[in-house]
Amino acid sequence: MDGVAAPDGDSAPPSGHQGGTGALLGGTLENLRAAAMTMDDDGLVVAVNSAAMRLLGRDAPELLGQDAHDLLHRDRYGHSVPRTRCRMRKALLTGSTGHGDAEWFACGDGTLAQLSWLATPYASVPGGAGALILLYDPERPDARHSDGGHSAPLTELDRLALLAETTTQLTSTLDVDKALHRLAALTVPRLADWAVFDLITERDEVRRVLVMEHKDGIRVERDDLRGPMPPVPAESPMPLSRALRGAASSLVGPSTYQGPPDSGIAVEQQRLFTATGMHSAVIAPIRGLRDVLGALTLGRARRHDPFTPADLPLLEDLTRRAGLALDNARLYQRQRKVAETMQRHLLPQLPVVPGLEMTARYLPAPDASSVGGDWYDAFALTGPAHALAIGDVVGHDLDAAAGMAQVRNMLRAFAWSHPKSAPSAVVTRLDEAVMHIAEVPMATMILATLALGEDALWRLRWTNAGHPPPLLITHDGQSRYLEEGHGILLGTGVTRPRPDAVAVLPPRATLLLYTDGLVESPHHSIDHGLDRLRRHAASLAHRPLDSFCDSLLDQARSGDNDDDIAMLALRAPPPP
């Protein structure tokens, strides 16, 4: 069925018919190029247009009068989504505008379609209240770009949908490069054949960071047009120079840059227009909260219709959202850089122990700050012994890093001042100090001492305060966890004796201390992670120690882990 249906399930008359409320709604929706339907305040479908029926693979009788959420909304596995988690239903009930990006909808043939949606209050439904829903495929090339090189103007609803999608896409990442690529994908080819981004760096230098073209139905990055740009001239009246100084958006054509160039930027613009064949373009500044961050150029080459002044407000709305997103991303990157510097100073240099190989790794949580509560340490004690430690303070942020530094420094002081004490005695003192001095909620750790025996074999003496057990891998690939010496974690306030344990390291054996980020996963048990680590470590027993650690991080770490990881590994020498 290709027409619009009225609420009773019958085919609606042509779109101009005004014979009833359903026909009125149908006629209104059919004038929209986007897939659209209206719902009443109970969430029932009142009217639907042809584009929506084609997109969902359903005819009018399947849709009208049905609960849109129950009929259509699914998760990625095809299961119904709980009503309490449905943002579309929330927008309907609160009478507010809402937007969803890349959610799953059930089609008539049983397949799932990943669609984005925009919901806005709509009063012209029976009873007077309800919502208008626009559905669209965010990955589908824009159908408005016709073979003849012309594009139909965006309706107001199209503009709202584009702005809503832009907000969702840009605010869901703190990566500058991802944000720019997402904005380019939203505007090319929907608005233009070309998107060009010029950004001002923190040193006030200009770089052309992304040039994207729509060619033969796909988006192509033009790396040959990227690169450093000349400085922004202070007085140039040329459009890009003005935009990079924060002036208003403007329309541009090849003739704009045909005369003698007044600056190096104008030379680059001549080159850009020649290489792209753009006959019409719009340039707008990308403003942050305090500074101008750059400029966006959208250009048309294959489609014949030029940009007009009516296109400028939409472009300025897009760049305003881009500016806020880039501001947030740059702030996050600055904080991350500070955090990385702090982490480098907090994590120690490993000592040189004659006869032993030793290395360490730290991997920050992927979706958090680059510092955290995971830490390792190794240092010489008085006499021939060395201390090894691995620990985890609850959290992965700056507070956890500060707590980690307190714990590590106190541990060093206690171990150094009592070099002949057993590891359990040192950790008992540390636990008492943590309760009264450090601002640490809870922590786990292993403290070990390493000394060479009279038989020329290295002996490990350790105590474990609630931490995952050390892993010992022999050179021939046998592996076992050192589960002895296990006691309660730090910071509980509970006083219990802490045990010590001793193990001899066979020649060429590898000892691995690690934090729980290496073995934990939200979808598997800790036992599964420990077994996975043991098997991978055994398979890598012959690797050089650095390669062993790098491969272990790559193979043993769960892909859905969101915690930071610290590792300390050492390898015993071959037999004398």
List of the chain residues with pLDDT < 70: 1-28, 123-128, 138-153, 339-346, 365-372, 395-399, 438-439, 558-562
> Which residue range forms the structural domain that includes residue 510?
347-571
**Three-class secondary structure assignment of 104-123:** EEECCCCCEEEEEEEEEECC
DSSP letter, residue 469? P
Residues 490, 550 within the same domain:
yes
Q: In the prediction, which pLDDT does 14 show?
A: 35
Residues 287, 424 within the same domain:
no
Residues 318, 365 within the same domain:
no
- 556 assigned to some structural domain: yes
- 493 assigned to some structural domain: yes
The enclosing domain of 474 has a CATH number of: 3.60.40.10
Residues 96, 179 within the same domain:
no
Residue 387's nearest CA partner among 345, 344, 440, 430 is 430
Query: Cis (ω within 30 of 0) for the bond into 189?
Result: yes
Contact 185, 192 (CB under 8 A): no
Pick from 303, 334, 365: which residue ends a domain?
334
The tally of domains found in the chain comes to: 3
Residues 130, 167 within the same domain:
no
DSSP letter, residue 567? E
- 86 assigned to some structural domain: yes
Q: In the prediction, which pLDDT does 334 show?
A: 78
- 340 assigned to some structural domain: no
Q: In the prediction, which pLDDT does 141 show?
A: 42
- Cβ neighbors of 267 (< 8 A, separation 6 or more) are 230, 261
The enclosing domain of 63 has a CATH number of: 3.30.450.20
Residues 83, 208 within the same domain:
no
Residues 376, 508 within the same domain:
yes
Residues 328, 356 within the same domain:
no
Residues 409, 554 within the same domain:
yes
Residues 304, 408 within the same domain:
no
Pick from 306, 334, 362: which residue ends a domain?
334
Q: Where are the beta strands (DSSP E) in 125-235?
A: 130-136, 194-200, 206-215, 218-221, 227-229
- 414 assigned to some structural domain: yes
Q: In the prediction, which pLDDT does 301 show?
A: 92
- Cβ neighbors of 259 (< 8 A, separation 6 or more) are none
Q: In the prediction, which pLDDT does 121 show?
A: 83
- 257 assigned to some structural domain: yes
- 4 assigned to some structural domain: no
Residues 403, 496 within the same domain:
yes
CA–CA dist 374, 378 (Å, integer): 14
Q: In the prediction, which pLDDT does 329 show?
A: 86
Q: Residue 445 is inside which H or E element, if any?
A: strand 443-452
Pick from 334, 355, 386: which residue ends a domain?
334
- 265 assigned to some structural domain: yes
Residues 59, 170 within the same domain:
no
